[in-house]
Structure 1
């Protein structure tokens, strides 16, 4: 079981910024660091995802750098491919390319800002995924009627399709992995079964599973857990589902929970710390990773 962690969305914090967090994650033995991607996010600042990953790549040597996830349809596909290829060169092929279509929780202001109809985001994501590998690898690819060749080409990174059960067909068609967030082991197991069936329809091997979890390790006040549960319900979860999706307690308890996700089919867990001590949470996650090694 591989363990990764989300980096700060704003890039800075009271304790440290992206560079320090990424280096710390590598030092404590985590496999990967991840960033979200929004143009305009609800109730929080967000630095550009590609620049945060470039910063992480510059201060690390081993840890993988992941989009969790890139909102591909917000960008012209050729420009997105240029960014991905550049990150592959800068990081030494350490990119994990999470891709999503964007959800409703952050509204449509970002989509209106770039002139992309919100209702077209799914179809545009699929169309971009068709073209992306050729563009990233420097192959001549027809985009909007023009033949485009990006240079230098790069190794196409693994594509990790983010989202819930509604994204399974996209993951089966385009993904090397499927990335559901806030899922319990039974949901992961059912998703893995259905994903294998859909992949077979496309003549593709079943994608692997990366699972995102909301994590607060150590002593966590009950009111802070309640606040996190309320936050998760904004994503359409019931209160019971939100409580079931949280991972709290000691590193040993977290390792047990991650082990259940592994039994359900996941090979990687991405921890999204919800407490105000991300450096300490990363240290505790390093202990979890050591227990699972």
Structure 2
């Protein structure tokens, strides 16, 4: 079965009362050792709970591993000047040996707008800025000349292989953005059956743009602790056309979570 299983690095948490901040080097190495396919970092400047910088985290993870893919899940592209984001992405792609995956999102409103204000960026304008960034990001990463801002032509060097770009979000707007600019779509979902309508819409959007079907990644939260049950759930995702599932942390014991994820992968 062609379904990749990934996990989050211990860099953040949805629960501000229980921050999950662990050893990035040890967790990255362990995820690779147990046979997982990808490791991911969350991203924000000021979130509702402690959170490490995603680019530094992924660079650290890439430096201590050889095979496993490393990814943003997800980069808030609009929070940064797009040329600077492209420079970080291209450098990560280079130092990781082309193992990077770039998930892009517009940000969870649950975190509020303080991080955006601290960066001098409009929270309300983040959707437009994300679209504009995605439009030029591949050219910038590849070292091709692109026009940014108020008509400024920019060429970054050295160029790098453009990594897979995935757009995240559960809304129709996010699926349209993925169909317009990305190689794939990321959604948060635990029920494979509830995904079918969204996938049909995504296929229609891609076809309307004369594009091949996009890849689909699922962030699966709240799964059970029964390996067989979760493996069956993952198989149902794969049957829907999902190519990658990322399991979320259940607490501070990342080693236990990674071992569980590896058992699920082996059971597929």
TM-score (norm 2): 0.93
Q: State the partner residue of 2:16.
A: none
DSSP 3-state at the match of 2:31: helix
Structure 2 stretches lacking a partner, 5+ long:
14-18
Do residues 148 (structure 1) and 154 (structure 2) align?
yes
User: Displacement, 1:152?
Assistant: 0.6
Q: Distance in 2 between matches of 1:84 and 1:162?
A: 17
> Which of residues 157, 165, 171 in structure 2 aligns to 1:165?
171
Query: Structure 1 residues 202, 4: closer, same or farther in 2, change over 3 A?
Result: same
Q: State the partner residue of 2:210.
A: 203
Do residues 6 (structure 1) and 8 (structure 2) align?
yes
- Determine if contact 1:172/1:199 at 8 Å carries over to the other structure: yes
Q: Distance in 2 between matches of 1:15 and 1:117?
A: 29
Q: State the partner residue of 1:20.
A: 26
- Determine if contact 2:21/2:252 at 8 Å carries over to the other structure: no
DSSP 3-state at the match of 2:213: coil
Question: Where do residues 100-249 of structure 1 align in structure 2 (5 Å cutoff)?
Answer: 100-144=105-149, 145-166=151-172, 167-214=174-221, 246-249=222-225
State the aligned residue count: 259
- Determine if contact 1:15/1:279 at 8 Å carries over to the other structure: no
Query: Structure 1 residues 207, 2: closer, same or farther in 2, change over 3 A?
Result: same
Q: Distance in 2 between matches of 1:187 and 1:147?
A: 44
User: Displacement, 1:291?
Assistant: 1.2
Q: State the partner residue of 1:79.
A: 84
User: Displacement, 1:278?
Assistant: 1.1
- Determine if contact 1:40/1:109 at 8 Å carries over to the other structure: yes
Q: Distance in 1 between matches of 2:164 and 2:20?
A: 33
Q: State the partner residue of 1:273.
A: 249
User: Displacement, 1:122?
Assistant: 0.5
Query: Structure 1 residues 14, 84: closer, same or farther in 2, change over 3 A?
Result: closer
Structure 1 stretches lacking a partner, 5+ long:
215-245
Deviation string, structure 1 residues 70-102 (Cα, Å, up to 9, x no partner): 000000000000000000000000000000011
User: Displacement, 1:10?
Assistant: 4.8
Do residues 286 (structure 1) and 262 (structure 2) align?
yes
- Cα RMSD (Å): 1.6
Do residues 33 (structure 1) and 39 (structure 2) align?
yes
Q: State the partner residue of 1:47.
A: 52
Q: Distance in 2 between matches of 1:158 and 1:16?
A: 27
Query: Structure 1 residues 26, 162: closer, same or farther in 2, change over 3 A?
Result: same
TM-score (norm 1): 0.85
> Which of residues 254, 263, 269 in structure 1 aligns to 2:230?
254
DSSP 3-state at the match of 1:133: helix
Q: Distance in 2 between matches of 1:208 and 1:188?
A: 14
DSSP 3-state at the match of 1:273: coil
DSSP 3-state at the match of 1:40: coil
DSSP 3-state at the match of 1:147: strand
User: Displacement, 1:33?
Assistant: 0.2
User: Displacement, 1:16?
Assistant: 4.6
